[in-house]
Amino acid sequence: MKYFSTNRESKEVSFKEAVINSLPADKGLYFPESIPVLDAATISNLKGASLPAIGYEMMKDFVQPDLSLSQLKDIVEDALSFEIPLVQVEEDIFSLELFHGPTYAFKDVGARFLARCLGEFAKSQARETTILVATSGDTGGAVANGFYGVEGVRVVILYPSGKVSDLQEKQLTTLGGNITALEVDGDFDACQALVKQAFLDAELNNRLNLTSANSINIARWMPQSIYYAAMSLRMENSEESLIAVPSGNYGNVTAGMLAKRMGFPIGKFLVCSNANDIIPRYLKSCEYEVHPTIPTYANAMDVSDPSNFPRMLELYDHSFDDLVVDVSGFTLTDEEILATIKDCHARTGYLLDPHGAIGYAGLKERLKIDQIGVFLETAHPIKFAPVMEKALGEKMNMPEFASDLMSKEKFSVRIGDQIGDFRSYLLGL
């Protein structure tokens, strides 16, 4: 499989090159030259299969010849070693719980797959690889955990100061070793801009052998399609479903669109946004208009210029008319997030995190009669304890994993939001 740039001004590359280089020189995103479509018999045979078995079948054409089938088998079995349950919340509404991995967030799937791919590639390289990753919350913890102790790989995580939860911050600042956390005086978009500028700096790339673990990386993005496929195989009439996806950088929902393109019986998508609603606005007007980022209770979605938008366009062949047949938008305010968490818990006993709450609210408003809805519960609610306690009006019990983490000492380096500051830090490594 070859990968081209969405800007179409860079040469096609192999899977290995796309993973290691992360971004093409023309500032686009890597995208597969073709999307394999699984036939009905293959999909039917996957019903009841394990998550690694589904992942193996889906990823094998994307990674060859750079990874052997035996290497891929080991990667998916190791990366997808936890359950992703589909939990009924109401008669016609289900939660796809993506927080049962080691860092209690959906980012574990892609981060662990990517880490193991890079670990295999590092074995044949004579020099160390430096991974740069910007996080608005859960990505940093998942990447830190996925790459911790991986030989030949150093990780530098950028996160916006004061704009991630205490638990999220602890997950990315307490490991040490080959993991470094940079606390940036700015928002997530500033962190993401620094990473992109670093990749376009020839000296930094040559000296540090840079790559990324954000969803801009093809090996972080594509494996997220696996849990959409697995979900569809567990549902009746799944091709008629409405899938509500809390969306910030749009890697998650576009991975679901990839699974649908591969032939899995997935219905329509509802992209669910907080106040940073650039894509819901685009779906109404066909105008992509970037506004300043607004801090919200659903902080992992505080993104005003999502990196994966070009992949969304590619998946629908740049046809706005085709896109809006499959995809609609929904937006929820902070006060509505609090009210949704409280109401759902009071009526059903189910505890939504602030991001899942937006997806759930979207289904409550948009779900049609006799239609099944699934929202993605993207992180454990305890990661957002202050917001949860404000919504519920009571103190949350701290799980053991969270208590242990909060007792650890934070280590981070504070930098400004200008490329000069970041560049100087990297050149000093």
Residue by residue, DSSP assigns 99-168 as: --STTSBTHHHHHHHHHHHHHHHHTT-SS-EEEEEE-SSHHHHHHHHHHTT-TTEEEEEEEETT-S-HHH
Strand bridging mode 2-5 / 30-32: antiparallel
In a domain, 381, yes or no: yes
Distance (Å, rounded) from C-alpha 34 to C-alpha 70? 23
pLDDT of residue 145: 87
pLDDT of residue 338: 98
In a domain, 29, yes or no: no
pLDDT of residue 398: 84
pLDDT of residue 342: 98
pLDDT at 157 over 90: yes
**107 among known catalytic residues:** yes
**Span 172-178, mean pLDDT?**
91
In a domain, 17, yes or no: no
Strand bridging mode 2-5 / 13-14: antiparallel
Q: What domain range includes position 99?
A: 83-105+220-397
And the tokens for 9? 């001004």
pLDDT digits (tens, 9 = 90+) for 211-223: 878 788 999 999 9
Share of the chain above pLDDT 70, in %: 100
| 168 or 138, greater pLDDT | 168
pLDDT of residue 330: 98
pLDDT of residue 51: 97
Distance (Å, rounded) from C-alpha 78 to C-alpha 411? 29
In a domain, 373, yes or no: yes
And the tokens for 33? 């030259």
The overall average pLDDT reported for the chain is 93
Confidence category of residue 321, pLDDT binned at 50, 70, 90 = very high
Amino acid at 116: R
CB atoms within 10 A of CB 174: 19
Three-class SS of residue 62?
helix
Distance (Å, rounded) from C-alpha 106 to C-alpha 423? 30
In a domain, 99, yes or no: yes
**Span 56-79, mean pLDDT?**
97
Work out the end-to-end distance of the chain between its first and last CA atoms, rounded to an integer number of angstroms: 35
pLDDT of residue 288: 97
pLDDT of residue 226: 98
pLDDT digits (tens, 9 = 90+) for 127-156: 788 999 998 777 888 888 888 988 888 999
pLDDT of residue 379: 92
Please state the domain count of the chain: 1
The domain spanning residue 286 has which CATH number? 3.40.50.1100
Rg (CA), the chain: 20
**Span 371-397, mean pLDDT?**
94
In a domain, 322, yes or no: yes
In a domain, 179, yes or no: no
Q: Which of 27, 47, 73, 107 is catalytic?
A: 107
Q: Which long-range contacts (CB under 8 A, 24 or more apart) does 101-105 make?
A: 101/142, 102/145, 103/138, 103/141, 103/142, 103/144, 103/145, 103/171, 104/379, 104/380, 104/382, 104/383, 104/401, 105/137, 105/138, 105/141, 105/142, 105/378, 105/379, 105/380, 105/383
Helices (H), 235-375: 251-261, 278-285, 309-315, 320-326, 334-348, 354-366
pLDDT at 189 over 80: yes
In a domain, 372, yes or no: yes
pLDDT at 283 over 80: yes
Strand bridging mode 373-377 / 242-246: parallel
Share of the chain above pLDDT 90, in %: 77
pLDDT of residue 138: 75
pLDDT of residue 211: 83
Distance (Å, rounded) from C-alpha 217 to C-alpha 112? 13
pLDDT of residue 397: 87
Distance (Å, rounded) from C-alpha 143 to C-alpha 172? 8
Distance (Å, rounded) from C-alpha 274 to C-alpha 288? 17
Q: Contact 76/113 with Cβ under 8 angstroms?
A: yes
Kindly report whether the peptide bond that precedes residue 65 is cis, defined as omega within 30 degrees of 0.
Answer: yes
Residues 6+ apart with CB under 8 A from 235: 86, 94, 241, 372, 374
Taken in order 63, 112, 55, 72, the sign of the CA dihedral is positive
Distance (Å, rounded) from C-alpha 231 to C-alpha 380? 19
Distance (Å, rounded) from C-alpha 381 to C-alpha 378? 9
Sheet arrangement for strand 413-415: 210-212, 129-134, 153-160, 179-184, 413-415
